[in-house]
Structure 1
Amino acid sequence: MPLASPTADRSAAPAARRDAVWILAAVLACGWFVARYGQAFMGPETLLCLVVGAVILAPVAVRLATGTFDLFEPMVLVTGLYLLYFVVGPLVRFSMDDMVFVGYDFEQVYAGALLAVLVVAGSLWAGYAVPVGPRPGSMVAHRRSWDPEAARRLGWGLVVLALVFMLLWARIAGRSLGTFFLPGLFGSMGGGGDGPDIPYLFLAIEWFTPALLVLVIAGALRGPWSRAAAILLITIVYVSIGFRYRVVILWIAFSMLLYLKAGKRPRLAVLVPAVMGAFLFVGWLAWARLFFRSGGANGGLSFQLGDVVQGALSDTRVFETFGAVMQVVPQHVDYVGFDPLGYLIILPIPRFLWPEKPLPMWLYDIGGSIGTAESVNLGAAVPHFGEYYFMFGWPGMALGSFLFGMGVRWLWRWYQADPGDSWRQLLLAINTGFLFQAVIRGYLAQVFQEWCFIVLPAIVIMRMCTRPAPPAPGNAHA
């Protein structure tokens, strides 16, 4: 999609500001009415939800008003996630009077958590406004040349490695291959599962995602049937082992890449049903993965719309747990400072080599901040800014969100510098898909680890089969 000229941007700016003012006024008026007459239904919190939603949507509104909107700008996905997790999720629970989670009533935490999201959203978009990264069009004259045949060999090699490590993990852990093919439905868990679990062998399964995208960009999977078969097989493996959000990352990246290669964007008639279908599938999988993980011994595969919607929204509860964390940090639990950054260094060291390796204790404080028996095993159940708050409180949350916004903007400008380059298309698609994981989980060490397995292999392959190409004669900088 072509970018609007600076002149067009300036001429459209007053209209964008007027639209933004009217939207905000309507939101405030609606929120005031609810807050005034709906005290029994979380009225003030509903007002805050609407204000937060307006702030979150502001960049998209400006893009639409100025004619510079691009569906594949990473900001759009971040906006959608923020709306779903921190606006839609709470509003649904207000409407259903469903504010008890893991044995705790969160009614009193919503106001503080929403105010925090207001600060986070403002800081995020302030960071996103900083023009970091290459200028659009500045790298076209320095496009790197690449060898598609080498990319195909490396892509298939990564597939083989993922298969070998998958089989090796199953062998060591005492599992059968049925573990990866819908156990309880088509396969069997097999074995007692009493062998040692080696996480890095297991995580190598995630290499299927970058391998598929490399093969697509290199032309190894040209026909629609071969692509459909490949993504179906990978989805089956991820569903079988409960990799719910790896499926979402895979689908987002794969779909984006196909459209980027074609130079198109999906029409609303395609996009809306696809998003709703994915939403319902993730909700169904939230219930069904217990069936697959237990080999059919527990859970079920029935599709009840109410249960599916609840399952799809279940992960948005990280908003409530974040509010609980704010209530105990630093009043009862100290800030953890730079510990999450330090844990990046020691995470790759296997525990069998370092039995006394420290644990990320701040993760246990998430469940501890709620204080119920059901919350003990919550794990990293806070959004990304929840960890920033753990580190340095409100200043850390604001600064961390600002830097996160800068990073997302850098990715977009880097792609825009040469949007016709195949490798930039691939890396934009896979990094945008990975933003899903980066936003919803406040555990930097785990997020970085997943990035190394999902995104880094694509970068390595790119560097191995590309080289700088001399500028084409007469090719000017944009």
Structure 2
Amino acid sequence: MTATSPPLSPLGGRSSRSALLAVIAAVVLAVAAGAVIGLLSPSNELLLLVATAATLLAPVAWRAATGQLDIFEPLVPFVLAYGVMFVVRPAYMLATNVQYYEITEVPVAISSKIVTMQVVALIGAIAFVVGYELRLGERVARRLPRAPRPPASSLGNFGWILFIFGAVLTALYIRSQGGLGAIFAGRSEAYFQSVAGTSKYLYYAPTLMVPAALLMFGAWRESHRHTFLIGAALSVVVLFAARGPVGGRIAFLPLVGGVIIYLYLERRKRPGVLAAGAVLLAAISISAVIGEVRNAGAREQQGLSGTVAALVAAPERVFTPLTEGPDAAMAPGLAAALTVMPSEVGHTYGGATFGDLAFRAIPRSVWPEKPRPPREEVVALLWSDGYRVGAANPEFSVLFAWYSDAASFGVMIGLLLYGLLARGAWGYFKANEMSMATRLAYAAFAPSIVMALRDTPTDSFVRLLFSVAPILAAAFIVGRPGRGSRRVNAV
């Protein structure tokens, strides 16, 4: 590859002074903004909103000002996703005076918990930024074994094996849902009930198509063997058959995003601001269309063409899922959860994170009395009828699990850990970016940061286990030591 890469921030050559300054800048901006808003307005909601926004923007602004901003660095998708969830959505709630959060036609009064929710969100933002800028995760990542650099054909062949294994499991999953006809009918009460009774092992099986497709796509790019391109296309078809008709957009995020990111990583280039903005706008628009037609009732009433025509006539509606719909409803959802926590659903002291991770792998058929995760306890308490039929499935964000364990202290520790892990992932990629498998794995990981902020830690871990881990496993199973692969001192 002879393309010139953009200036990236140093991994080991720059002193920690810039990291310290970024953390100080975040705190100073938050305090200064809070003081100004406090003088202009008595609104605690607005004060917390500006403080959270300042905390998120400070490290990004620092990198932009010093020429170190890399759009693929984990900090960027974190700021975008967290900002939508806990800045944009609360701002819209404040502007429209939202007092309730409604699911399955059951409203929950959240006005008394909005400030608490914003405090928790601010603590999480500060903790992540501090953990990220400490660079401890980066230093640990540099000491890990180098990623092997197996031949592209070996990775492609592993992708074929993964495809066959995943396709068999996906076929069993589709059969458990009543066949392709039931899935292509779209989301309905019957679909939710069927999914609720399905083994989680089978439910996640279609996700294996993501690493299968990426491995064979990367192998095709290197070897130009069309059999790998065919395999990648077949993987997409299988994934679409299982997730497309029911609007499973999350399943496609690491795949579509992974392909786009990999093409840039392969050439050691980065998209410009306009290109990145256009891709983001297109993704939001496509997501809005899928979100409207995935339900069986809406599909029957207006269909795909009617939905597209309605959005063309009123293009501002593509942003409705972010301001009013469930896609970015983590803020009102968390506020709703706080109405019963810890008064009715007490703190779990590790049960919502590590306990859930330990128990999740045990089938309920083996342990019928296995306790429900705290998230399900809250959903069952607030929306009992919807929970019983599987229709109530709100996401409270990753903050919920850490708050469930140890209140605000749990959020601080949890997001600090997320910051360390995110910086570690970036450091490992930069130290091994000459490995095709590492580029593929990171390309799938970067978009997954959005899901990691929506879901519980256990759900995120399982998804990464199915989407990213197989790519790294392929490298170490069929690989050979990465002789000659240089470490790039950049983060």
TM over 0.5: yes
Q: How many Å apart are 1:405 and its aligned residue? A: 0.9
For 1:311, which of 315, 321, 330 is the aligned residue? 321
Letter in 2 for 1:165: L
Q: Is the 8 A contact 1:155 1:214 kept in 2?
A: yes
Q: Which amino acid aligns with 1:454?
A: S
Q: Which residue of 2 aligns with 1:204?
A: 205
In the alignment, the residues of structure 2 paired with residue 147 and residue 76 of structure 1 have an alpha-carbon distance, to the nearest angstrom, of 32
Check whether the contact 1:143–1:471 (CA below 8 A) recurs between aligned residues.
Answer: no
2:3: which partner in 1?
none
The answer as to 2:91 corresponding to 1:91 is yes
Q: Which residue of 2 aligns with 1:214?
A: 215
Deviation at 1:468, TM superposition (A): 1.8
* Residue equivalent to 2:281: 276
- 1:235 Cα deviation (Å)? 6.7
Give, as a single letter, the amino acid of the residue that structure 1 aligns with 2:60. V
| One-letter amino acid matched to 1:433 | P
Match of 2:165 among 143, 161, 164: 161
SS, match of residue 149 in structure 2: strand
The CA deviation string for residues 173-206 of structure 1, in whole angstroms up to 9 with x for no partner, is 431x3456x547xxxx99x979974442332111
2:433 to 386, 394, 419: 419
Give the distance between the partners of 1:217 and 1:226, measured in 2 at CA.
12
8 Å CA contact 2:150, 2:479 repeated in 1: yes
Q: Which amino acid aligns with 1:331?
A: S
Deviation at residue 298 of structure 1 after TM alignment: 6.8
Distance in 1, Cα, partners of 2:196 & 2:28: 62
Match of 1:59 in 2: 59
Q: Which letter does structure 2 place at the counterpart of 1:162?
A: G
Matches within 5 A, 1:226-245: 233=237, 236-237=240-241, 238-245=243-250
Alignment of 1:36-75 (within 5 A): 43-75=43-75
Matching of residue 321 in structure 1 with residue 325 in structure 2: no
Q: How many residues align?
A: 460
Counterpart selection for 2:453 from 433, 436, 439: 439
Q: Look up the SS of the partner of 1:146 in the other structure.
A: coil
TM alignment of 1:128-143, pairs within 5 A: 128-133=132-137, 135=139
> Is the contact made by 1:363 and 1:380 (CA closer than 8 Å) also made in structure 2?
no
Pair 1:60–1:230, CA change in 2 (3 A):
farther
Q: 1:298 and 1:167 mapped to 2: Cα distance?
A: 30
Deviates most, 238-247 or 60-69: 238-247
Which residue identity does 1:31 align to in structure 2? I
Structure 1 residues 319, 10: CA separation in 2 closer, same or farther (over 3 Å shift)? closer
Distance (whole Å) between structure 1 residues aligned to residue 196 and residue 117 of structure 2: 43
1:60 maps to a residue whose letter is V
Shift of 1:228: 9.7
| Matches of 1:18 and 1:52, distance apart in 2 | 14
Structure 1 residues 355 and 298, CA gap change in structure 2 (3 angstroms): farther
In the TM superposition, what is the alpha-carbon distance from 1:266 to its structure 2 partner? 1.0
Deviation digits for residues 96-123 of structure 1 (CA, Å, limit 9, x no counterpart): 3344321134233221211111111111
Q: Specify whether residues 7 and 401 from structure 1 end up closer, same or farther in structure 2 by C-alpha distance, changes over 3 A only.
A: closer
Matching residue's letter, 1:398: M
1:414 Cα shift? 1.0
Q: Give the aligned partner of residue 270 of structure 2.
A: 265
Q: Does 1:356 align with 2:369?
A: yes
Cα distance in 1, alignment partners of residues 195 and 15 from structure 2: 63
The residue that corresponds to 2:123 in the other structure is 119
User: Structure 1: how far apart are the matches of 2:210 and 2:85?
Assistant: 25
The alpha carbon displacement at 1:289 in A equals 1.2
**By how many angstroms is 1:444 displaced?**
2.9
Please give the per-residue CA displacement for 1:379-410, whole angstroms capped at 9, x wherever unaligned: 46211121111011121111111111111111
Residues in 2 aligned to 1:156 and 1:220: alpha-carbon distance in whole angstroms: 15
1:459-478: CA deviation from partner (whole Å, max 9, x where unpaired): 22121111224558xx7996
Report the identity percentage.
22
> Cα 1:46–1:257, aligned 2, differ >3 Å: closer, same or farther?
same
Paired AA for residue 286 in structure 1: G
Contact 1:174 1:195 in 2 (8 A): no
Range with greater deviation from structure 2 (305-314 or 155-164): 305-314
Q: Deviations over 1:411-433 (max 9, x none)?
A: 11111213222222112111222
TM-score, with length taken from structure 1 = 0.82
**1:71 CA drift (Å):** 0.5
Q: Please list, as runs of the form range in 1=range in 2, the aligned pairs for 1:247-262 lying within 5 A after superposition.
A: 247-262=252-267
How far apart, in 2, do the equivalents of 1:153 and 1:359 lie?
40
Instruction: Specify the alignment match of 2:475 in structure 1.
Output: 462
CA–CA distance in 2 between the matches of 1:140 and 1:2?
25
- Judged with a 3 Å threshold, the aligned counterparts in structure 2 of structure 1 residues 8 and 387 are, in CA distance, closer, same or farther, namely closer
C-alpha displacement of 1:327: 4.0
Given the superposition, is the C-alpha separation of residues 438 and 12 from structure 1 closer, same or farther in structure 2, using an over 3 Å criterion? closer
For residues 86-145 of structure 1, give each alpha carbon's deviation from its aligned partner in whole angstroms, at most 9, with x where no partner exists.
000111232233443211342332212111111111111111122224559968995633
SS for the counterpart of 1:68 is: coil
Q: Distance in 1 between matches of 2:237 and 2:340?
A: 45
Displacement of 1:151 in angstroms is 1.0
Cα distance, 1:81 vs structure 2: 0.7
CA distance 1:240–1:387, shift in 2 (3 Å) = same
Quote the offset at 1:11 in angstroms. 10
Distance 2:82 2:338 in 1: 18
SS in 2 for 1:104: strand
SS of 1:458's partner is helix
Q: 1:59 touches 1:125 (CA, 8 Å); kept in 2?
A: yes
Match of 2:165, as an amino acid?
A: L
- Which residue is 1:100 aligned to? 100
Distance 1:14 1:210, change over 3 A: closer
- In structure 2, the residue matched to 1:150 is 154
Counterparts of 2:74 and 2:140, CA distance in 1: 15
Q: Could you tell me how far apart the structure 1 residues matched to 2:440 and 2:15 are?
A: 29
Q: So what's the TM-score if we normalise by structure 2?
A: 0.80
